[in-house]
Amino acid sequence: MEEILIVGAGHFGVRAANLLQGMERRITVVDKDPMALGALSTSQIVTVCSEGINFLVDSELSRYAWIVPALPVHVVFSWMLITLQRGGYHCEQIPVPLDIPVPNAYYTPDGTLYASLARDLCPEDCPEPLGYCYKTGEERPSPLYEILKNLNLPDLAVDVVRSHQLRPGVGGLSPAQLHLLQEAVISRRKPGLLATSCGCHAVVNAYQF
């Protein structure tokens, strides 16, 4: 049976686990909080009490059909930094430049950039329709992951890991996406941006070697 890994057992992780149970795949949910994991108790869900990012780094990713990031951090970026550092590469986070042309940009004090096509709070069960906003009906010619892929930044490479919708409001990525990301970053070994993005929302971090 194929397996889905959910990293985080907060509100969104528990919601993802409950919605994904019908996919006839075993679900593993990892979180460092045993009380959070206690909200999940079905025959299809396996819980692991461990720090989520480190568990992901130490896992054999090929065993998973999908990985669902559900922590309040940029899971893919954290995974990439740790795996590169363990591989002997000196790669570190730097602040995202303030002039990146993305919609509704919001910068956090640690230099992370959040971008969104939405100006209002989205419903949790948004099915992410192509071409328009599910809540407002507003036309959206290009999904956000395409907008980010098309950024032309002379001093920074741009990699975008697309979050695929597995259920309304639940996004996942495949192990192959992570392996391709790692190969691309190592082959270039130059400063870059890494974004994880669905059709409407994205989190972006920058790094340098």
- Residues 145-193: tens digit of each pLDDT: 999 999 999 899 999 999 999 999 999 999 999 999 999 999 999 999 9
Tell me the pLDDT tens digit for each residue of 124-149: 888 888 888 888 888 888 999 999 99
27 lies in the same domain as 102: no
Q: What is the Cα–Cα distance from 79 to 76, expressed in whole angstroms?
A: 5
The parent domain of residue 120 ranges over 74-209
129 lies in the same domain as 29: no
- Domain ends where: 72, 88, 111? 72
- Domain ends where: 39, 54, 72? 72
Q: In angstroms, what CA-CA distances link 196 with 27, 67, 77, 144?
A: 22, 13, 8, 10
pTM, two decimals, is: 0.93
- Domain ends where: 72, 103, 123? 72
144 lies in the same domain as 167: yes
114 lies in the same domain as 188: yes
Per-position DSSP letters for 48-83, written without gaps between them: EES-HHHHHHHS-GGGEEEEEE-SSS-HHHHHHHHH
49 lies in the same domain as 36: yes
93 versus 1: which is more confidently predicted? 93
| Mean predicted confidence (pLDDT) in 80-98 | 96
Say how many domains are in the chain. Answer: 2
